[in-house]
Amino acid sequence: MKSTTPRINFFQRRNPVWLAVLFAAVLPVMAAPLVQTNETQVSATTNLTQVAPRSVFNPPSVPKEGCDPFFPTSVRPYASAVITNAPTADFSSLLIQGISGTPDHRLAIINKVTFAAGDEAEVFTSQGRIRIRCIVVTDNSAVIEAAGQRQILYYKPR
């Protein structure tokens, strides 16, 4: 059941005098700093052209200098990045199984993978997979490159 007495919301009428009193009461509280320290006072003569110092991270070379914060027991940060021996390609298990195509566009089948001049793919060998690139295909040979080394493979028909 509804009440017959009208209810007046204090802010519903939006009386400008009450809003001014409320604003005047809250303004000094909001304007005052919570803690007064020397860092909060900035002089007008501060040089605005100063550049913030750059942070530099020097990876540790020994465990005494620090560790990886995410993997503290890892020895990976201390490993040297020097490669002792460059990988060499083993061409002994590569074999041309056939040469086909037109004289101006020759194709070579090397370990069950077909290559044209400029093609690059992985082939399976007895030592594992090796990525080779075919440089040139002629009537009875193919020049290939693997791991930075070039080799000529000759086709021996059976």
Please check whether residue 125 lies inside any domain of the structure.
yes
88, pLDDT greater than 80: no
Please check whether residue 25 lies inside any domain of the structure.
no
Here the tokens at position 152 are 């000529």
Please check whether residue 102 lies inside any domain of the structure.
yes
> Do you know the residue count of the chain?
158
Q: Which residues contact 144 (CB under 8 A, 6 or more apart)?
A: 91, 94, 110, 115, 132, 133, 134, 135, 150, 151, 153
Please check whether residue 74 lies inside any domain of the structure.
no
Lowest mean pLDDT among 40-54, 70-84, 103-117, 120-134: 40-54
Please check whether residue 139 lies inside any domain of the structure.
yes
Lowest mean pLDDT among 48-57, 98-107, 112-121: 48-57
Q: Given this model, what pLDDT does residue 135 score? A: 95
Q: Given this model, what pLDDT does residue 28 score? A: 72
DSSP E strands in 6-158: the ranges are 96-102, 105-110, 113-115, 120-125, 128-137, 141-146, 149-154
Predicted TM-score (pTM) of the model is 0.46
Strand order in the sheet with 128-137: 120-125, 128-137, 141-146, 149-154
Please check whether residue 34 lies inside any domain of the structure.
no
Task: Provide the number of structural domains found in the chain.
Answer: 1
For residue 115, give its domain range: 96-154
Q: Given this model, what pLDDT does residue 8 score? A: 61
C-alpha to C-alpha distance for 90 and 146, rounded to whole angstroms: 9
